[in-house]
């Protein structure tokens, strides 16, 4: 699937750290920021999660839910949340046929001549009606959470 503005996300279940199912459709009626990142406890991913967590209150004030997504297990997510005091909720994507696979952001990557599957750091802003309002592909972490907050505030302003 190629992401496009105005599309609705596939309603594929993710798993929260407490083992509950969470879907994009659970957030209808409020805006949702889904930020997909490669791996818990790596430098860029830790910074990104801390940045979104630091702005969680401002996102809530803008009627915008946050949800960080990676393929890490729910248990690893909980350790990551506890270690860094994260306020932005996290969810685990299925190892195969998950939401990131359906969106085409679980993709083949290459490092030092070795190919492997990995998450392309991507953020999606979903409007309250469930349609994609904005997409940030291949995210650079510095300043990103603040940019997403500004877009969320401006949406339906």
Q: Active-site residue 117, yes or no?
A: no
Distances (CA, A) of 55 to 59, 63, 100, 145: 6, 13, 24, 8
Structural tokens at position 116: 């492997």
d(CA 75, CA 97): 20
CB 10 within 8 A of CB 103: yes
Instruction: List alpha helices for 3-117, DSSP H.
Output: 43-54, 56-61, 74-84, 99-103
- SS percent in the chain: helix, strand, coil, step 5: 30, 30, 40
Structural tokens at position 38: 């490669």
| Annotated catalytic residue, options 45, 99, 133, 139 | 45
Q: Report the catalytic residues.
A: 45
């Amino acid at each position: 699937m190629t992401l496009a503005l105005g599309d609705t996300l596939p309603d594929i279940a993710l798993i929260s750290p407490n083992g509950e199912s969470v879907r994009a459709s659970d957030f209808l009626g409020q805006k949702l920021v889904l930020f997909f990142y490669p791996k818990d406890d790596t430098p860029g991913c830790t910074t990104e999660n801390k940045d979104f967590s630091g702005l969680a209150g401002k996102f809530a004030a803008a009627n915008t839910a946050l949800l960080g997504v990676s393929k890490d297990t729910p248990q690893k997510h909980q350790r990551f949340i506890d270690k860094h005091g994260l306020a932005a909720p996290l969810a685990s994507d299925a190892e195969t046929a998950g939401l990131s696979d359906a969106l085409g952001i679980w993709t083949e990557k290459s490092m030092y001549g070795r190919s492997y599957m990995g998450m392309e750091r991507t953020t999606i802003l979903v409007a309250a009606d469930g349609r994609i309002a904005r997409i940030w592909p291949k995210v650079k972490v510095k300043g990103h959470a603040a940019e997403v907050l500004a877009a969320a505030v401006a949406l339906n302003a």
